[in-house]
Structure 1
Amino acid sequence: MTIQAAFTQLITSLIPVHDQREAANIAHIVMEHVTGLSKMDRIVYKDRELTAGQATQLQQALAALLEHQPVQYVTGSSWFYGMELQVNANVLIPRPETEELVEWIVQDVRNSKLPQRRILDIGTGSGAIPLAIKKELPTATVWALDVSSGALETARGNAQQQKLDVHFEQMDILDTNASQSLPMFDIIVSNPPYICQRESTDMQEQVVAYEPSIALFVPDDDALLFYRQIGLLAKEKLHPGGALYFEINEAFGEETAGLLRAQGYMNVEVRKDLFGKDRMVKALL
């Protein structure tokens, strides 16, 4: 089978599951993963035959995709803030909206003109947030926590691959005794679980079935569980004048801001993402 024939087969097979544009995008990602060739190179070498190993890999990828596995899990990687990160079923797939949260933090630090910062990311998953921050702010001391040992193994692997120095530690942030051992920070950031269980019926099957539920869902009757707990922790672990940043559920922007104001934070700001949805909150101590 030639490269062009394989690409066409992928799209044709995926159209019953995805619309044509998404099927083509997924096919490009898979073909680059299988062949190691860029889109331009695949055009130049479109009549090149796949090796037996590549053909097998292609069929395995297609079978996984037809079971609604996310293409990032199929290829084992996802791009975030200019970095190719390894992802698997232990971690969420990094989203473009989270890049906006990183950009907000980076710009705030640069505008402050202070040379050093100690920054903590809570619920780090693949390590996307702290690694992007460390990449952009190399003089910062960056810590990252997660309750999942599998997520931390992935995050440490990504840090090693990106040659970035981030301190990772396993911790359940809901365990107030464990968090007492943390040092003081200038910035705390988190993209915690924030999707109510009832919202799962409206979500894509590939997200609900394959991405880790521990990183997605909160009880219907306590949607702000992690924001409340992290807000309390940050009051103890942020230096005076420190900043707390969250990614949030678009349905709870004002509720999250109100919670932080009630906890004593100042200058609480809700910011929309590129799609016009409430997506981020910043609060000052």
Structure 2
Amino acid sequence: MQPHPGERPPKPRSVLLAEVAQATQRLADAGVPSPRNDAEELAAFVHGVKRGLLHTVGDADFDARYWEAVARREAREPLQHITGHAYFRYLELQVGPGVFVPRPETESVVDWAIAAVRAMDVVEPLIVDLCTGSGAIALAMAQEVPRSRVHAVELSEEALVWTRKNARHADQAAGSRVTIHHGDARTALPELNGQVDLVVSNPPYIPLTEWEYVAPEARDHDPQLALFSGEDGLDTIRGIERTAHRLLRPGGIVVVEHADTQGGQVPWIFSEASGWADAADHPDLNNRPRFATARKALP
């Protein structure tokens, strides 16, 4: 169709934006949950610009490596493994093979935990992050609760490589207040027994029976140690209940993430008979049960 007299002809669409549209369709056909977002993120990564500036990449600057990145995502390799980073609250974390990629759902867990610590009448809160993985929770807590002291515990040596890397590259003030420990969440930090103000964890919680239903990005790329925990998925959470009760001072709080199908089960693990009070479940931003909290009962 010819433009009317006096109208400007339509501006040619850039090669990159046309390729992004094709990539979006390829990723959608492959079952990627957020095809447009991922196609744009990959384009921004390969071309070294922010997503909002993709339109500034000239046709002559189109990088054919974009299609290599798209093919990897099409094969359901995590976006974060391809770009090498993951965003979590105010952090940009380095991630890759060997470490669990932090999910947006966990931001709700941290949000609640930060509010709980700030409400405490404690000058320098003592916090323990069990199953820290990339260090996302520990570093977020240290960054957003400025006078806190945070101990981060991780069993996997492969994951600890990423924990330490992220602590080194974090804001200096926050990173310096995070102490990293190689250890088992079930036996961690006996030297802190009865002293901790808050224990927080995003532990493995997928039942072994659910393996075939897990998204390929997690099942085939996240460490199995960070995903599965017994027949019902609650083995590690049961261990964390015992560790948290040992570590916390009376009145201290535990916050534990779980699957959205476990909302009716996890609060019962933190029972009054085991020395807990105010056990409750909380939703994430999608209003799905996402984490349980409890307070260590006073003597």
The aligned residue for residue 29 of structure 2 is 16
RMSD: 2.0
Q: Output aligned runs, 1:70-89, within 5 Å.
A: 70-89=78-97
Structure number, greater radius of gyration: 2
Aligned residues: 277
Q: Distance in 1 between matches of 2:77 and 2:182?
A: 27
The aligned residue for residue 35 of structure 1 is 47
Structure 2: which amino acid aligns with 1:167? T
Q: Among 236, 241, 250, which residue is 2:251 paired with?
A: 241
- Residue 277 (structure 1) aligned with residue 288 (structure 2): yes
Q: Output aligned runs, 1:175-186, within 5 Å.
A: 176=187, 179-182=189-192, 184-186=195-197
Q: Distance in 1 between matches of 2:99 and 2:59?
A: 37
Q: CA deviation at 1:142?
A: 0.5
Q: Distance in 1 between matches of 2:71 and 2:81?
A: 13
- Residue 55 (structure 1) aligned with residue 64 (structure 2): yes
- Residue 103 (structure 1) aligned with residue 111 (structure 2): yes
5+ long unaligned stretches in structure 2 = 1-13
For residues 29-56 of structure 1, give each alpha carbon's deviation from its aligned partner in whole angstroms, at most 9, with x where no partner exists: 1011111112332213343423xxx423
- Residue 45 (structure 1) aligned with residue 57 (structure 2): yes
Once structures 1 and 2 are overlaid, which stretch shifts more, 107-116 or 209-218?
Answer: 107-116
Q: Among 94, 98, 101, which residue is 1:93 paired with?
A: 101
Structure 1: which amino acid aligns with 2:238? R
Q: What percent identity do the matched residue pairs reach?
A: 31
Q: Distance in 2 between matches of 1:181 and 1:194?
A: 27
Q: Output aligned runs, 1:1-285, within 5 Å.
A: 2-18=15-31, 22-50=34-62, 54-56=63-65, 58-163=66-171, 164-165=175-176, 166-174=178-186, 176=187, 179-182=189-192, 184-220=195-231, 222-261=232-271, 262-285=273-296
- C-alpha contact (below 8 Å) 2:199/2:244 kept by paired residues: yes
Higher share of residues assigned helix: 1
- C-alpha contact (below 8 Å) 1:231/1:263 kept by paired residues: no
Q: Distance in 2 between matches of 1:18 and 1:25?
A: 13
Q: CA deviation at 1:125?
A: 0.6
Q: Distance in 2 between matches of 1:110 and 1:127?
A: 20
Q: CA deviation at 1:189?
A: 0.7
Q: CA deviation at 1:280?
A: 1.1
5+ long unaligned stretches in structure 1 = none
Once structures 1 and 2 are overlaid, which stretch shifts more, 274-283 or 36-45?
Answer: 36-45
